[in-house]
């Protein structure tokens, strides 16, 4: 069946409608106006954003929580270049995005058009693939291509550049041009299994180990492998530690959970040091996870399971490489050990009990901080209150730096799955509010709480207007220390008390800021008031609630531990 001749912008909207995409965000410009008009007529859920970087952050969190491709857009020039930070977050984190950017009219390119820049060359390194549409009739084909690339291998963002004349031009498309196979927007689109002989060898290593441990990274969530990780861990009494993005591989309250490993840890680093076989799953073993490449020790027996072969040997040379999907690989390992699993589980029960005992002892050792009544509020007390208040299906979003490190160490999920969403792909400040918006849109009905610093909120507070307009019932906790907390804490460690430069902020009552923007604002200065504030914020009321928590101003107590980079510097090592 032939359709009426339509613009390229409408063709984009029609193929997106066929993909059943969720809410989209962007800030329009002339180049993409036909797309915006078609989105209105076709009933797509498109929303104005106040800053294009936040559009990508919203899309990133939406993709992480929903497991589906998220879509956003930007206009020519400054709109496109504002996307870079968010795109790199999604690229490094493995978040499937399709991002449309307007581009110059091809007949006038390189003639000093308004806002013209070499934007495709700027954006190309920040995405998995950049597709420039050169023929209007190829729009459906190339948009489908964008979705396939975004969801295969390690998922990531694909940028589709749409020249002005392509978007405004017309073509007589056929109905069949917009056919979309089911599940095109789901991720991962393709799964592969490790080689049979490699799996058998891995099973022998794990089955013969007396102190094995599994280390899970963010790939455990990208693969939707948490149920497989939980089942395998319990089948053989295998303790599980995690990175910040891997939190939720198993529940933090599970007796087999060993918590965060790397730069900041509870008990995991010592367990890794004592281990005779380490299974790394969906983890890039980057700087923070490895405590600047010192964990695990070089002589450890390591099995590395990942579907991105390029990650093998990048920071650690494993004894065995399992190239395949995390979920499929873990399920195959469990099958390979099935005949012995009962005996292994019984043999390892004492080891599992030891891990649970160590975790209990750690919790007791920090109880004073978790229950501290000091004012300003102790960060550990704030995280303890959040852990206590959050239901099992709650989602905690953590902004970069300060907020992520504290919550990565201390926040406890109550079930396996993606209940913790930090922006660790690029660790950019400013993710807290837009990330909460994306999570709330991806999981309606689930309580969403976000932890951000005052500096991070200052960058993105305009999106409170967007959250209010969309009536999103999210709770944003601002860690108010009147400073760029992470930087000030590092300056304190490096140069001593009082030697701070460009790390202090003005004292601001952010509850009043929230109220001025038409949202609910709550100021908390006494730790005894945190629980009531959280209850009010998570009550499901329409629109966002901002809880402004006044935390310690002492830079000696701003971090959950000593950053290992400062130790290296004091030993005379050079730090990048």
Q: Tens of pLDDT along 18-73?
A: 999 999 999 999 999 999 999 999 999 999 999 999 999 999 999 999 999 999 99
Instruction: State pLDDT tens for residues 395-453.
Output: 999 999 889 999 999 999 999 999 999 999 999 999 999 999 999 999 999 999 999 99
Q: What is the pTM of this model?
A: 0.96
Contacts for 417 with CB less than 8 Å, ≥ 6 apart: 221, 226, 248
Look at residue 558 and give its three-state secondary structure. coil
pLDDT value, residue 109: 87
Contacts for 274 with CB less than 8 Å, ≥ 6 apart: 211
pLDDT value, residue 570: 56
Residues 206, 160 within the same domain: no
What is the extent of the structural domain holding 500? 367-570
Relative orientation angle of helices 326-336 and 338-347, to the nearest 10 degrees: 80
Residue 526 inside a domain? The answer is: yes
Residue 187 inside a domain? The answer is: no
Look at residue 327 and give its three-state secondary structure. helix
Answer yes or no: is pLDDT of 318 > 70: yes
Return the CATH number at 294.
Answer: 3.40.50.1220
Residues 426, 510 within the same domain: yes
CA dist 129 to 124, 146, 156, 277, 499, Å? 7, 8, 9, 37, 45
Residues 290, 349 within the same domain: yes
Residues 89, 215 within the same domain: no
Residue 188 inside a domain? The answer is: no
pLDDT value, residue 401: 82
Reference 8, options 119, 199, 171, 141; nearest CA is 171
Residues 212, 95 within the same domain: no
pLDDT value, residue 574: 33
Pick the last residue of a domain from 343, 362, 381.
362
Contacts for 393 with CB less than 8 Å, ≥ 6 apart: 415, 419, 446, 447
Residues 418, 452 within the same domain: yes
Residues 494, 532 within the same domain: yes
Residues 216, 136 within the same domain: no
Residues 395, 493 within the same domain: yes
Distance CA 209, CA 345 (A): 12
pLDDT value, residue 112: 83
- If you average pLDDT over residues 77-104, what whole number do you get? 97
Pick the last residue of a domain from 298, 331, 362.
362
Residue 173 inside a domain? The answer is: yes
Residue 575 inside a domain? The answer is: no
> Would you state the structure tokens that stand for residue 570, as one six-digit string?
């004091």
Distance CA 5, CA 339 (A): 63
- If you average pLDDT over residues 308-312, what whole number do you get? 95
**Residue 98, strand partner residues:** 71, 158
Residues 356, 391 within the same domain: no
Residue 290 inside a domain? The answer is: yes
Instruction: State pLDDT tens for residues 444-485.
Output: 999 999 999 999 999 999 999 999 999 999 999 999 999 999
Phi, psi of 242 (to 5 degrees): -145, 160
Return the CATH number at 90.
Answer: 3.40.50.970
Distance CA 24, CA 43 (A): 12
Residues 394, 292 within the same domain: no
Number of domains comprising the chain = 3
Q: Pairing between strand 157-163 and 170-171?
A: unpaired
Pick the last residue of a domain from 362, 392, 426.
362
Residues 284, 375 within the same domain: no
């Amino acid at each position: 069946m032939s359709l009426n001749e339509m613009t390229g912008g409408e063709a984009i909207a029609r193929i997106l409608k066929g993909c059943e995409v969720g809410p989209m965000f962007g800030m329009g410009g002339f180049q993409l106006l036909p797309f915006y008009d078609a989105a209105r007529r076709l009933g797509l859920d498109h929303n104005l954003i106040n800053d294009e970087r936040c559009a990508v952050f919203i899309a990133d969190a939406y993709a992480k929580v929903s497991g589906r491709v998220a879509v956003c857009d930007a206009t020519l020039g400054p709109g496109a270049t504002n996307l870079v930070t968010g795109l790199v977050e999604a690229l490094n984190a493995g978040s499937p995005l399709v991002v449309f950017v307007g581009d110059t009219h091809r007949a006038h390119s390189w003639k000093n058009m308004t806002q013209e820049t070499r934007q495709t060359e700027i954006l190309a390194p920040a995405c998995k693939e950049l597709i420039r549409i050169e023929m209007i009739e190829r729009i459906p084909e190339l948009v489908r291509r964008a979705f396939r690339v975004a969801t295969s291998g390690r998922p990531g963002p694909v940028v589709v550049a749409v020249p002005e004349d392509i978007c405004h031009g017309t073509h007589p498309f056929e109905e069949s041009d917009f056919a979309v196979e089911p599940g095109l927007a789901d991720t991962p689109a393709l799964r592969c299994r490790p080689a049979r002989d490699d799996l058998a060898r891995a099973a022998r290593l794990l089955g013969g180990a007396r102190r094995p441990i599994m280390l899970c990274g963010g790939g455990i969530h990208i693969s939707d492998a948490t149920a497989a990780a939980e089942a395998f861990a319990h089948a053989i009494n295998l303790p599980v530690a995690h990175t910040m993005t891997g939190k939720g591989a198993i529940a933090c309250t599970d007796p087999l959970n060993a918590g965060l490993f790397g730069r900041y840890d509870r008990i995991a680093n010592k367990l890794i040091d004592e281990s005779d076989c380490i299974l790394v799953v969906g983890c890039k073993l980057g700087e923070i996870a490895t405590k600047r490449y010192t964990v695990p020790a070089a002589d450890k027996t390591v099995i590395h399971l990942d579907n991105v072969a390029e990650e093998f040997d990048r920071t650690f040379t494993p004894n065995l490489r399992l190239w395949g999907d995390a979920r499929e690989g873990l399920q195959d390992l469990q099958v390979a050990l099935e005949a012995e699993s009962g005996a292994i589980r019984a043999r390892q029960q004492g080891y599992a009990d030891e891990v649970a005992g160590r975790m209990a002892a750690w919790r007791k050792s920090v109880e004073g901080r978790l229950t501290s009544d000091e004012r300003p509020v102790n960060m550990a007390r704030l995280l303890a209150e959040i852990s206590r208040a959050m239901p099992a299906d709650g989602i905690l979003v953590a902004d970069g730096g300060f907020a992520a490190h504290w919550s990565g160490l201390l926040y406890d999920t109550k079930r396996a799955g993606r209940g913790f969403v930090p922006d660790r792909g690029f660790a950019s400040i400013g993710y807290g509010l837009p990330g909460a918006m994306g999570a709330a849109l991806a999981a309606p009905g689930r309580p969403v709480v976000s932890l951000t610093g005052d500096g991070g909120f200052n960058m993105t507070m305009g999106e409170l207007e967007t959250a209010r307009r969309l009536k999103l019932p999210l709770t944003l906790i601002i860690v108010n220390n009147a400073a760029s907390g992470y930087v000030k804490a590092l300056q304190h460690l490096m140069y001593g008390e009082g030697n701070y430069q460009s790390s202090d902020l003005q004292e601001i009552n952010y509850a009043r800021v929230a109220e001025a923007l038409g949202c609910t604002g709550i100021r908390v200065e006494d730790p005894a008031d945190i629980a009531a504030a959280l209850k009010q914020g998570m009550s499901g009321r329409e629109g966002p609630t901002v809880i402004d928590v006044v935390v310690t101003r002492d830079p000696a107590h701003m971090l959950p531990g000593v950053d290992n980079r400062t130790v290296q510097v004091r030993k005379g090592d050079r730090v990048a």
